[in-house]
Amino acid sequence: MLFGQPRLLDDRQRPIAVPAKMFALLAYLVLTERAGPARRGTLRQLLWESSEPKAAAANLRKFLSRVTTRQEEDGFELIRNGRNHVELVSGSAFIDLVQFQKVVADRGLADLETLCDLYCGDLLEGIDWEGSDFQSWLQQQRTILRDAFVAAVASRLEPLDRKVDRVKIKVAARRLREVDPYNEIAHRTLMRLHAEDGEPARVRDVYESLKARLGEELNVPPDEATRELYRTLLPKAAPKAAAAPASEEPNAQQEAADTLSGLEPDDSFVPLLDRAQTPRVTVLPPPPLGGQDFAHQLADALIEDVTIGLCRLKSMSIVAPYTAAQLSKSRKRAQLRKLHISYVVDSQLKVRAGEPTLYVKLYNATTRDILWTQDYRLDKDAVAGQYRDLSVQIVGALKDWIERAELAYYDRLQHPSAYHLYLAGQKYLHALDLPSVRRARRYFKAAVGECTDFVPALSGLARTYQQEWLLMARGDRELLTEAKRLAIRSREIDPEDARGYRELGVCNLYAGQFDESVEALKLAEERCPQHADILNDFADAYSHTCDFPAALEKITRAIELNPLCPDQYWWAAAGTNYHLQRYRDAIRCVEHMRDKSAAFRLLAASHAMMGEFEQAQLFVQKTKEIHPDFSISAWLSIVPIRDRRYAEHYEQGLREAGFE
């Protein structure tokens, strides 16, 4: 079973334990290879993209060996391993995904029940993958399959075939509404069935709930067909007055709390969203396009770099790329409204005349008026010019609010090949693991080879050496020295670019040069005041210098600009709250993290300082499962902190929790 939580069952419906990647391989073979053979090299790149080639090849061999052994032990054969290829053994077992494809292709109306039984959830639901390429592929396939289910069920519900059992029709309509809450065919079907059952109140409930959802989340009314059906079924139903009732001014802090992903309503520390008159803009990356993985990566990196470039403008508020990426998955108007976004730069990747093309439009998030549209052919020799054009277009479209002098920043055309290599390397910095960091470094070095004074690549190189220093347990001082040298060179080449100052500030912090770190990050913020990642680094620097109120101010602003932010933001906020003796707020911050494992020590210390020793012990155990050799003295010896009293404060919490 590949829909919903993936599972493999034997003849008696008992689960068979297999590696999780086996389900990914099965889905890939069915959907991409059309059940034909797949090259081993392709599978290595797909399933172990963050590993070096030799390590990926070894991982694939071990994985296929485990699969073969399990198949032999349990007497089945789903996957056949050849010398250069891997293939699906057709007809050897029931695969819900294969059956789903057959039912969708068959227009028979009697398949409603089968469709709903097969599509019990998203493809490979609940399984996360490390590789960004496979994650992008999986997200695309989930969307395609969800759309196929919606289209197939909708086409069988309207027009309604009276020969089909009414119970099955009702179940299918409810399932369709569950998968696609805006689907009006599902709602119309339920309205008809309730009317036939003599339940006018339920007809009204279905219609009003649809109307409310469309109005609140999409700001559109139901289709004319739905409104006409409602009037037909309930001829006495009079339209309500258009005037909206007066309401009290919403609590801004509460609204901000409800907006951020996973927040609890009583989170008093949640930052207040900026509601100044300056426009708030988000630049959404394009959804994946099948068969255009490289073009999508290039377009995605281009959009992110444009966004970061716009962060230097003081007269508009730019939503950080990380949050924009989360918004792009839904593109729902309700989320834009809750985040007080004024304008949206939307992007879409298409193929025109055989060439990948990026279509971009800017529209008013409230009125949906389109201000401009443009398309760009994705070519490595042209992408640098596209960066300039995109930035100028966005700034020009919002000319009533933009400082025109800022346009001069985009006049300098980057070296085309260097910029293309820089974008290719930039995508690997999103994963904090050694193979990704080193791959990014190779691209940045190649970019510098093309253009020796290309600041973005020099700054990127500095970041890779910093990250390797962290990943290697801070043991190799030469890595940090090289990172600092590159940061200084970057700053010297372009004193107006924030990136060099940012990298220098982080290097100085890791070296324990606190004043120099704060000064460099202050200069970075002056040059790019709305770059959320810079503000997060600044908060980290203030925290290590023990200026915790200033740290809290910076991290609050960073989260305002990047409300669907990475875990490291909340981790920084949690540590700051701990040192301000706001232990409950520290715990609440950690609760927003998707992966809390990095903060288990902090959770243990926070619970212990509040006398909650049972909870503290729980997180001590979880920490030791990950770091069995953890010791307080070894940990604190590598943490740069100016005032040792605060190190002792953290040590106190750790010891009371039960660490040694």
Express each pLDDT in 466-513 by its tens digit: 888 876 655 567 888 899 999 999 888 888 888 889 999 989 888 888
Residue 368 has what pLDDT? 74
Residues above pLDDT 70, as percent of the chain: 81
Backbone angles phi, psi at 4, to 5 degrees: 70, -155
| Confidence band of 238 (pLDDT split at 50, 70, 90) | very low
* Residues facing residue 532 across a β-bridge: none
Measured CA to CA, the distance from residue 112 to residue 48 in angstroms comes to 38
Measured CA to CA, the distance from residue 659 to residue 617 in angstroms comes to 9
**The two three-digit tokens of residue 625, written as one number:** 């499962």
How far is the CA of 354 from the CAs of 57, 361, 380, 615, in angstroms? Answer: 33, 22, 16, 59
Measured CA to CA, the distance from residue 592 to residue 75 in angstroms comes to 45
Comparison of pLDDT for 629 and 273, the residue scoring more: 629
Measured CA to CA, the distance from residue 37 to residue 20 in angstroms comes to 20
| Confidence band of 649 (pLDDT split at 50, 70, 90) | confident
Comparison of pLDDT for 185 and 264, the residue scoring more: 185
| Confidence band of 429 (pLDDT split at 50, 70, 90) | confident
Backbone angles phi, psi at 361, to 5 degrees: -140, 145
Backbone angles phi, psi at 49, to 5 degrees: -70, -25
| C-beta separation of 31 from 141 below 8 A | yes
Residue 184 has what pLDDT? 93
Residue 220 has what pLDDT? 79
| Confidence band of 35 (pLDDT split at 50, 70, 90) | low
**The two three-digit tokens of residue 249, written as one number:** 């001014």
Express each pLDDT in 160-169 by its tens digit: 777 777 888 8
DSSP structure class, residue 240: P
| C-beta separation of 323 from 562 below 8 A | yes
Nearest to 292 by CA among 227, 378, 207, 216: 378
Check the CA dihedral 632-635-638-643 and report its sign: negative
Transcribe 550-569 into DSSP letters: HHHHHHHHHHHHSTT--HHH
Residue 612 has what pLDDT? 86
Domain limits, the chain? 1-180, 280-413
What is the pTM (predicted TM-score) of this model?
0.47
How far is the CA of 201 from the CAs of 194, 197, 205, 254, 266, in angstroms? Answer: 9, 11, 6, 34, 36
pLDDT above 50: residue 273: no
Residue 207 has what pLDDT? 93
Backbone angles phi, psi at 344, to 5 degrees: -125, 130
- The HSE-up count of residue 218 (CA atoms within 13 Å, CB side) is 14
Fold classification of 280-413 (topology level): Rossmann fold (3.40.50)
pLDDT above 80: residue 313: no
Question: How many residues does this entry show for the chain?
Answer: 660
Measured CA to CA, the distance from residue 518 to residue 514 in angstroms comes to 6
Q: Are strands 280-283 and 343-352 parallel, antiparallel or unpaired?
A: parallel
Residue 411 has what pLDDT? 38
| Confidence band of 530 (pLDDT split at 50, 70, 90) | confident
Residue 501 has what pLDDT? 92
Nearest to 606 by CA among 592, 593, 594, 589: 589
pLDDT above 90: residue 188: yes
